[in-house]
Amino acid sequence: MSLPLTGIRVLDVTNVLAGPFCSYQLVLMGAEVIKIEQPGSGDLARRLGADRATAARLMGASFIAVNAGKQSVTLNLKMPAAKNIFKQLVTQSQVVIENFRPGVMERLGLDYAALSKINPRIVYCAVSGFGQHGPLSSRPAYDQVIQGMSGVMSVTGDKDSAPLRVGYPVCDTVGGITAAFTICAALVDACSTSRGRMIDVSMLESTLATMGWVVSNYLNAGTVPLPLGNENFTAAPSGTFRTADGLLNIAANESYQYEKLCDLLERPDLKTDLRFADRDIRKQNRDAINVEIQAVLLTRGAAEWEKLLIEAGVPAGRVLSVPEILDHPHLAERQFITQFPNVDPPQTLTGGGYRISDGDAVPPGPAPTLSQHTDTWLRKLGYSNIQIEDLRANGVI
């Protein structure tokens, strides 16, 4: 059955992660995404990833991660003939996504002002580090730079290790999700009004927006956020604990959960101890309650404690590695992983994190080889084989 974005065509003029992650979300929801790449080199991510051999062949693991199901068309957008082809594609599309520095698409004559004249319904989304205007807008943006400037690093780690980088490109990813959401909202409006719009996504602001409680505690209560490591700043005991054979997260955030935890640990005295009498007092005596709980947790393994805690109604979960969670039977039953074993290199991909009732939100095919669909689209636009070869010979495609 058709997915929600079936019939939507997206021109994806983005590289590396934030923009491609955005368009990958649209692919999973049924959109047709045409990835516009530079002839010869393509997306930088094609040359990135742990497998050096596939990266050398422009099919790096980093590229595969967020480009499955897309079509690759190579255009040198600095050349007039390529710009004309791009504009032809715009007339047949609903969305354009780009993540150049502000001003690049305007200099190319392919910004929203220009493209909306030939397709008033176009939804144009520009993803950048700091937005299209403002004192920082012209700066280059990398995930780690945004992590540092947004305050994310300042609250990651503990008092000894902070500031610390989050272990994956969280700001790129958040920027991509934000862009996908706003594009979908704009498409809903375009369907009823026949009017497109320009969307300006800032990775810095997108990241700050996801830090809601941390930011709000400062804006509305004047509390400067501090790094608490694996502790939960809203409750105690709530954090990461050692067991006999591994780490375990426990989130006894509610009073009834705390009481059940005390009973399970056979420490009913902790329920009446004045140092731990209510939620706020427990937070003030976080170190003391953690010492009491930790001593008991060391008597059994993480898996055993996890089972007992869940059965008792106390939220808990082992701290797993990436391989461990990807091998978990829960994800297998949820069909979170999609495989394309019959391509070179074979591709294994993650889903979007959701299921929908009337279709499979999975990529319709593997990540494309560079320029795999260029000739196909030029023929659809009416170019003859001779014209296509001439464009290739002149470096347009």
Closest CA to 338 of 361, 309, 312, 314: 361
Structure tokens, 369: 């080889």
H or E element at residue 337: strand 337-340
Query: Bridge-partner residues for 248, per DSSP?
Result: 241, 318
Tokens matching residue 91? 């007339």
Report residue 256 as tokens: 């009834």
Q: Where are the alpha helices (DSSP H) in the chain?
A: 18-28, 52-56, 61-67, 80-91, 104-108, 112-118, 143-150, 170-193, 203-210, 212-221, 255-264, 269-272, 279-284, 286-297, 302-312, 322-326, 329-333, 374-380, 385-393
Of 43, 143, 172, 200, which one is the catalytic site residue? 172
318 contacts 303 by C-beta, under 8 angstroms = yes
Beta-sheet strand order (sheet of 316-318): 238-242, 247-251, 316-318
Contact (CB, 8 A) for 314 and 264: yes
Written as six digits, the tokens of 294 are 């930790």
In the DSSP assignment, the letter for residue 9 is E
- Tell me the torsion sign for CA atoms 293, 294, 300, 302: positive
Please count the other Cβ atoms lying within 10 Å of the Cβ belonging to residue 216.
11
**Nearest-5° Cα angle at 151, 145 to 157:** 95
Identify whether 172 is a catalytic site residue: yes
Alpha carbons 355 and 351: distance in angstroms, whole number: 9
Residues labelled as active-site residues: 172
